[in-house]
Amino acid sequence: MTISPPAAQSESESKVSALLSRLEEQFTEAGVDSPELDAQLILAVVLGCDRAHLHAHPEKAVPHEAIERVEALAQRRTAREPMAYILGEREFWSMPFLVSPDVLIPRPESELLVERAVALSGYGGESRILDLCAGSGAVGLAVASELPQAQVTLLDLCPKALGAAKRNAEKFGLVSRTRLVVSDLFDALAVGEEFDLIASNPPYVASRELDGLMPEVSSFEPRLALDGGADGMDLIRRIIEKAPACLARGGYLLIEMDPRQMDEAEAVSEEQGSYHSARRHKDLAGRERVLELERA
């Protein structure tokens, strides 16, 4: 595949429609999932307009400097860098979260954690909520945005990830009800500290499966946020074993996992002995994705 430098472009190639077709072709060749959409998103962000505007003005000429910026972003997408890192943003729970390569890109299935956390907490309650392995803060901040009285602790092992969470807390005006804690799971929490609900999307991919994931994930997203050890359950096990120590009676633990891990996770919770019920919740694809454990 050859990409003609901007200087060699003819008049027609600098029109919106021609530029979009060229990018789409480039992305298709690179194996990108949604070449047309991604081409539009890149051109729209560079021109500072929305996609509808591109549709309405296909014949508009794109200025030379804009083409250079588009080409630079398009190169990154061709190398399979995720759109969320290129744009610096990803929508989750209808909130535009800032994302950087230090954090996992929020995924639609994690909205199930938010949905359950909100349902279990009740709107007016002064719930103390812990987002464990918070990354960008998407789960905890979405919950905070739904529950005006809740106090949310965003905890992560990675200080840079919490930097992203902090910027998001500021962006959504949630700083006063948000606390950031750098910690290896529960280690840095005060002895005796209690939460009413813990929600977690921990790393849960089996180490040997990491390299087989799509390049957007395996080459660009942080390993720390994905690698769950030999069977992907290292963190899930530790969380189920340790959570009861800082979970109020009748409180809930919500953990996202791979559907194949559900049986084992439930067995660990039974062995742990401090939970009195377990429920499984399915994601939009109909796969069991969140395990809900109630503290006895």
Q: What are the residues binding ligand GLN (CB under 6 A)? A: 107, 201, 203-205, 217, 226
Q: Give CA–CA dist 292/6, Å, rounded.
A: 54
Burial-class residue 56 by CB neighbours within 10 Å (0-12, 13-18, 19+): exposed
Nearest distance from residue 237's CB to ligand GLN, in Å?
Answer: 14
Closer to ligand GLN by Cβ: residue 128 or 289: 289
Task: Select 226 or 233, whichever has its Cβ closest to ligand GLN.
Answer: 226
Distance CA 216, CA 38 (A): 14
DSSP secondary structure string, 127-158?
-EEEEET-TTSHHHHHHHHH-TT-EEEEEES-
Shortest Cβ distance from residue 226 to ligand GLN (Å)?
5
CA dist 28 → 6, 7, 12, 63, 262 (Å): 20, 24, 21, 25, 36
The three-point CA angle 81-84-89 to 5° equals: 150
Residue 43 beta carbon to ligand GLN: minimum distance, rounded to whole angstroms: 28
Q: How far is the CB of 203 from ligand GLN (least distance, A)?
A: 5
Question: Which is nearer to ligand GLN, 56 or 214 (by Cβ)?
Answer: 214
Q: Which is nearer to ligand GLN, 165 or 226 (CB)?
A: 226
In whole angstroms, the minimum distance from the beta carbon of 231 to ligand GLN comes to 13
Closer residue to ligand GLN, CB minimum distance, 120 or 205: 205
Ramachandran class of 246: left when φ > 0, alpha when ψ lies in -120 to 50, beta otherwise: alpha
